[in-house]
Structure formats: structure tokens, C-alpha cells
Structure 1
């Protein structure tokens, strides 16, 4: 039995009627949107007096990158972190600080499939293939940051491109997209209920309490949304995967995007590939385009989160969600689209996997070093 089949077998939602799973999914989406509103409002209130000092701390783009990367590595969900970033922008976090955070979230999410590859550590040949498949995602996301972070610092291309898209979506040359919003109307009562419980507290504690409640809501909602979506969709997703692999780059990227939208997690999508490569069903090279599509598909969660925002920063919240989409799409077009760059991620991941298969401790050192020690060193150096 494959790891995918095992996950389906042990998924507690499999025993629920399908109509109940869909109903729970809608409730969890409602909870996620409520959480975004709570975090945004709480962040705005909590940082009102200390905003300048806080933003100055994170104004270095490398620190912003590290914050996004480490938070995602710890939570193991870029969808969760990107939704939190959207909420923080709604609460006043400047776009220029949020953009590197989004880039860091892309690197941080790669840790999940790398950890999954350790499940094959007992068989040297399987482990080499699985680690190769897992770290293609790592190397691609690292290269994307190396290309686009300097461009963003120098020219602000993602910020400008996403701002233009927001103007186009508003249809009237720049009116705030946060006018009448049915999502806000639906989530309003629960948000107001939490506000009533915290509003008597001093501003910093009031805002912090709302942020804490929002974080609990958003982590729970996205985690359980992923489980329910897998119980509903992974059978179809597996069929899509099998039908798309080996049929060319466009088919692989498109299928990776669609499957990730269905299961609401790029970590899940890319992790599904690792056992298939480890057991020799497919090759690491054949899943490369599919992995890139997963990067694009994961952006949908942040866009959904942004739609729940109204008020003066609504358009900025939508803008940072679109930054995530633009960044991942442009990274695919530039790195995969240009032949001289295309082979670097699979080639480097293959060379690394050969060394890790020989000395397994290198695999653990790689995970700890890339996802934790290097970010910590950057923070200490730049602080």
C-alpha cells in the first residue's frame, strides 16, 4: 500500500457522509476568513503605538525573508503563513516588508516533503530517489528567491505588477476593493463576538488576544480543511497525477496547480510525489513540472483570505495575495522557461541525494542547516 493510500485509510473524515464533509468544509472556510479578519484588526490595534519600531526591525528584506521562512517551516503550511501575512497587511504591515515574507514562506514549505523523504531512509536506493525528488522543490524555491529578491529590492517589480492587477480588478481605476463585501457581512458577527470579549483590555493586550484567537482559528481551519479536501479529492488528485506525469511540462504544471487547489496544500501535493519516486513508480525528473504547479496552486488560499477584508487596507491585502501569485508564476516562467536555468534544481538535488544516501546524517544536517541554522545566523548578523 502506498503512503497516499495509507493516508486515505487513516483519514478520520473518510467515514463521514460526503454531504457532512462538504458542510464542514464550508464551516472551516468561514472560520479561516473570520481568523484573517481577527488577525488584521488585532495586529492594527496591538502595533498602533509601536508600529514604527516593529516595522523598522523587519524593514531589512533578508529579515522579512527569514521570518516567513522559519514560520512556515515550523507550522509546515505556506497557506497558513500567507493568509496570516494577508491579515497583517490588512492590519497595517507595509507591502515592502510583506513581499520578502511571502518569498520566505515558499522556501519554508519545502521542509515538509524533505521530511517525508526520511521515511525511506531504511533502503539506500529508495532514500536516494526520494530525497532527490523532495529537494528539487527546495532548490527551485531557493533559486527563485536568489533571482527575484534582488530585483524586488532594486525595482519593486512584484509590488508594482500586483498593484496594477488590483487596479484592473477594481474596474474603476483604483477605488478600494473593500466596499460592500458579503464575506465580511457573514463573518462579522463572530468577529464582533470576539471583540466584545477583548475590548475592555488595554490596546496591546486587546490586539494580542485577537491575534492569538485568530492564529488558533486559522491553523485549525486550514489544517482540517486540508484533511477534508484530501478525503473528498485525493482519489481524483491521484488519478490526475498519474494521467499528467510524462505528458509534458504544460500538462505537469497545470495538473500540479489544479491538484493543489483541490487539496489546499502545496506541501501535501509535493509530498504525494516523494513516495512515488522513492518506490520507482516515476522519476524525480518527471515530477519537476508538477512540483512547480503546486507552487502556483497554493496561492489560492491567500486570495480567498484577502476577499474577506474590507476597509482602508482591503486593496493592499488583495495586492499582497496577488504578489504571491505573481512571484510563483514568474519564477516558473523564468527559471523553468529558460533552458540554462531549468536543469539546475534537478541536477543539484540529484548530486545532493547521492551524498545523503551514502552518509544519512547529511540529510538531517541539510534540513537543520537550511531551514533553521542559516536563518538564525542571518538574524543574528543583521540585528
Structure 2
């Protein structure tokens, strides 16, 4: 095929070499100037500043009657569509939770049955992390996935803000655990405080607390899957028969009938107390009550007749729910971007991020905590609330400073679900159930008192911004963070905890001390480098892969390109792509030979070949 015609004269090689050499000299001479200009530009531009939201469309007063009717109609349709997407999103979270329970629910029951492991507070902590991620019942991992999906655009600042908004909750929890867990082990203040509260009330068994969110989602989710969660409870309480049961509920309506039946016993000592006992043909008979379960009505979900193991059903639901979750998130973000434009976005942004006038500006954050707690209590799901906030932080409607107290309020609101569930417990377990739910409540209250009232102590915001900056530069680091913090690290700590306190302390203390030392040196490097030895004023003395992600970025990008190329070749799509490229180039050349060829057409040709 003929080469692409050139639209500009070719520069002679000697002149080109001279020009390049001149450019190199000029670049070297102005290197310091460009670096200083770049630093000044970085100082002037703050990626965490919320973008200006301007009204790019026609104002309401400029529209005629038809335009006003169409705008109102489009707004109503978008709002209804948004509600539908939110409904599917919540249902997909419910299905995702069921999928994780099918995949690992029995393993979770076995873990809770092991009292030796649970007696170790560190092991209990990491088990809580693993089980929460496993059954997807907390907003932490959900919010991170939301940020990774909903901010998948090319705007790095949107991704930066969204990921920080999702992980500020993580840093609050991790920092609270690092401070409050040792305090609880040493003093038992949470146990004593909650015991005092429980003893001060005359507790009685309550009725089942209504789950408002379940009432809304159940009409759809019960047609997809229904689980028998009592199986996990029976495994955790040591019932051996429960291990052979399936978590997939088959019969939705059953009835237990107790009848008095005649049975044989080895000797008269084994006769039922208070029941008659007689002998017939050298056999001793007695009577006892036996309960028989009548299966009256089968469930109507799609896996009733599937006859598949729990793992297979869980993997199928996992794939479907993740697909629905990601699709809804992408559409919700796009819909919010189209709805939150113009004057609407300006008003919402102003209302959500405006503080009360001085000297009552400090009240604004605490009001946001109350709002977050109230909204989470209404929907009874912190996952829904925090997942809704994350895209708004990404597009610049809510600042990270305002999202932080909203998230803290959601932490309080989510404890009400456990408290309501505890109040519905039987009388013999009511006190213990309510006490552990109050431990959750007071833990979050203690964390808020630590990391919010004093502005200097709002460390989670600074850590979330630092992580957002890192993931904005290296997108793959977001997935690494999720796997490392919520899977690998808890598994490693759990293994050390099971091995014993000696192993945990012998390995964990030196690693933790080294990490603290590195953090302290890094802080001093940025603020007071003159107090450090010359070699420690930067990490440049270390190999670059040990203090920079840039070499790892090259490896990850190269691996992704290699895998994409190999997969493309394996699927024989490379040949198809080459054919399409050849056709596009031939079409471009035909356009170029046309006498009506314009400058814009020329740009399209160049873009096609590039």
C-alpha cells in the first residue's frame, strides 16, 4: 500500500540535526526556569479545590413555553430513572451479600465456632475485617469499589476526589482500632461502660424490628435468591448436622408437628421420664415426643430447581450482582452529571458546603454528622448512603471536608440496625446481644471524639487525600490497596495470631516499629529536614523501587499491554483489527485524493493513522 502523502515539505537531515541540537541546548539552559514555573503552577492549582459549576445552558427565563415543558419533562424522567437505578443498585448489594454468604458463609460459621481463636483480640479484629468483606455487609469495601467504577473517566481529579471520599472512612476505622483496641485490652472500658448501661435497664424481649430497606428490596431479591441464614448460625453454635445443609432455601413455608410415638429402648433405665414403659416380646417400649417437619410450599426464586452446590450458585450470583452494580454505578454517575448542572448544581454545592456564620461555624460539621446518622437510619444501610456520597465527591458537589462528618454520622446510624436486631433477641440472649451492639455504638462515638472535634486531629482527611493523590497518578494502586488492606494483611495477621502471642509479638512489633520510624522520618523530611543527617533528608539512597512507584508502574503497564495483546491474538481479534485499520487507511487516502479535501479532513486522516 502506498505511504501516506505528506502535507508539509521534508526538512533536510543536517538542518534537522542542528535544530534538535539547538533545542537540546535550550532545554538544558531553561531546565531550572521550567521547574520553578512548574512548581509555581502546582502551588497555584490545588486539585482538591471543588471545580466551578457554571450554568452552560439556557436560563429558565430564556425558554419559551415548549422549552419549559420539555425541560420539566426531562427532569422528571431523569429523576424517575435515577430512583430506578438506585433501587437496582440496592438490590444488587443485597444479592452481592447473598453471593458472598454462599461462597464463604459456612467458613465464617466455622471461624466463629473456634473459641480459642476468638479469645485473641487481634485475631478477633482481623476476623471481623475478613468476614465483613466476605459478606459485603459494610460500606468500606463497597465505597472503594464505587469510587473505582464511578470515577473511571479520564479526569484524574474526579478519580482523586472520589477515591479519597471512599477511603476516608477506612482511615477513620483503622486509626480508631489502633488506638481503642489496645485501650480496651488494657482497661476494658467498652465492656464496663456497656455493662453499666445494660444493668441500668429492665430489659425484656422485644418484637422483630422492621427492616425498612428489606421491605423495599425483597419483592425483587426474593425472586432471585433466598437464603437460610440459620444454617450459618447452627454451624457457629456447633450443630454438626448443619454442615450438610444448603444455604439455598428451598421450602419457604413449613410446619412442625409434634406427635407422641412409641419407641423401643435398650433397657428400662432409658425410658422417657414421666412416660409409660412396658415390655412386649422381650422388647422394652416407651413413648416420647417427636417433631416432624411438613414441607408445605416451595420458594419461587430462580435457583429452587437448579440442584447446584452453594459455591456454584454463589459464583453465578457474584458475577451477575457485580455486573448490575457496576452498570448502575456508571449510569448513576452519568445521570448525576447531567442532572447536577447549571443553577441546580450551584445551589446544591452551596447548600452542602456552606458553613454557619461565625462564631457558629463549628456547628456545621456536627449537623452533618446528625444528617448522616439520620439518613443511614432511614435506609438502614451505610453502604447505600456512603456509596451515594462517593460519586458526588468525585464530580465536585461535596467537598472531602464535608463528606467526612457525613461518613462519621453514617457510622453511628449503622449501629442502630444492630441495636434494633438485639432488642428482638430472646430473653436469655437479650442482654448479651444488646451489650455487643452498644459496644459498636460507643466504639464509633469514641472514634469521633478522637478524630473530629479538634481540627488538627482530623488525620483521616489528610491520609485520604494523600492516598487519592497516589491513586490519581497510578490507577492500579487502588486495586492493590483494596487487596492489601482487606485481604492479604488481615490474613497475615490472622495467621500470626493463630500461631500464638509469641509469634505475633515477635514478628508484629518489629514491623510496626519500623513502619512508625519510616513515617516519622518522612514527616521530618518534609517539615524539618535540617534536623536529619544528610543521607536521611531523602530516600534517594535506597533503590528506586523501594521509594517510588514509577518503576512498578512501568511493570504493571507493560504487563497489561502484554496481556491485552496476547488475549487479543488468542481471540483472533488482532487480525480483525488490522483489517479494519487497513480499510480505514484506504478510505482516508481516497478522501485525500478528493479535490474537495479540506483541512479538517486532513486532520482526520492524520488522527486515523496515529
1:258 aligns with 2:288: no
**CA shift in 2, pair 1:207/1:257, >3 Å:** same
* Higher strand proportion (structure 1 or 2): 2
1:356 aligns with 2:471: yes
Structure 2 residue corresponding to 1:74, chosen from 121, 129, 134: 134
Check the 8 A contact 1:118/1:127 in 2, yes or no. yes
Structure 1 residue corresponding to 2:84, chosen from 2, 5, 9: 9
What is the CA–CA distance in structure 1 between the aligned matches of 2:470 and 2:436, rounded to whole Å? 39
What is the CA–CA distance in structure 2 between the aligned matches of 1:64 and 1:362, rounded to whole Å? 28
What is the CA–CA distance in structure 1 between the aligned matches of 2:79 and 2:486, rounded to whole Å? 26
How far did 1:310 drift? 1.7
How far did 1:5 drift? 7.5
Give the aligned partner of residue 165 of structure 2: 133
**CA shift in 2, pair 1:287/1:182, >3 Å:** closer
What is the CA–CA distance in structure 2 between the aligned matches of 1:165 and 1:151, rounded to whole Å? 20
* CA deviation map 1:39-85 (0-9, x unaligned): 9xx9xxx99xx99x82112211111111111111122213xxxxxxx
Structure 2 residue corresponding to 1:143, chosen from 175, 193, 199: 175
1:116 aligns with 2:146: yes
Give the aligned partner of residue 102 of structure 1: none
Structure 1 residue corresponding to 2:384, chosen from 265, 268, 283: 268
What is the CA–CA distance in structure 1 between the aligned matches of 2:166 and 2:463, rounded to whole Å? 12
Give the aligned partner of residue 397 of structure 2: 281
* Higher helix proportion (structure 1 or 2): 1
Give the aligned partner of residue 187 of structure 2: 155
> Superposition RMSD on alpha carbons, in Å?
3.8
What is the CA–CA distance in structure 2 between the aligned matches of 1:5 and 1:282, rounded to whole Å? 23
What is the CA–CA distance in structure 1 between the aligned matches of 2:128 and 2:349, rounded to whole Å? 29
**Larger Rg, first or second structure (1 or 2):** 2
* CA deviation map 1:161-204 (0-9, x unaligned): 1111111222xxxxxx345x4449xxxxxxxx999xxx9xxx72
How far did 1:362 drift? 0.7
Q: How many residues align?
A: 280
Structure 1 residue corresponding to 2:198, chosen from 160, 166, 190: 166
SS at match of 2:143: helix
Structure 1 residue corresponding to 2:483, chosen from 368, 379, 382: 368
What is the CA–CA distance in structure 1 between the aligned matches of 2:229 and 2:132, rounded to whole Å? 26
Check the 8 A contact 2:353/2:399 in 1, yes or no. no
What is the CA–CA distance in structure 2 between the aligned matches of 1:242 and 1:75, rounded to whole Å? 37
What is the CA–CA distance in structure 2 between the aligned matches of 1:372 and 1:321, rounded to whole Å? 25
Q: TM-score, normalised by structure 1?
A: 0.64
How far did 1:377 drift? 0.8
What is the CA–CA distance in structure 2 between the aligned matches of 1:168 and 1:127, rounded to whole Å? 49
Check the 8 A contact 1:270/1:294 in 2, yes or no. yes
Give the aligned partner of residue 338 of structure 1: 454
What is the CA–CA distance in structure 1 between the aligned matches of 2:425 and 2:245, rounded to whole Å? 16
Which stretch of structure 1 is more off in the superposition, 245-254 or 356-365? 245-254
Check the 8 A contact 1:244/1:251 in 2, yes or no. no
Q: TM-score, normalised by structure 2?
A: 0.41
Structure 2 residue corresponding to 1:327, chosen from 443, 468, 485: 443
* CA deviation map 1:118-170 (0-9, x unaligned): 12132212101111111111111111111111111111111111111111222
Give the aligned partner of residue 204 of structure 1: 239
How far did 1:243 drift? 5.4
Check the 8 A contact 1:245/1:252 in 2, yes or no. no
Higher relative contact order (CA 8 A, sep 6+): 1
Query: Tell me, which stretches of 5 or more residues in structure 2 are unaligned?
Result: 1-74, 95-104, 210-227, 253-316, 322-346, 356-363, 499-610
What is the CA–CA distance in structure 1 between the aligned matches of 2:192 and 2:248, rounded to whole Å? 33
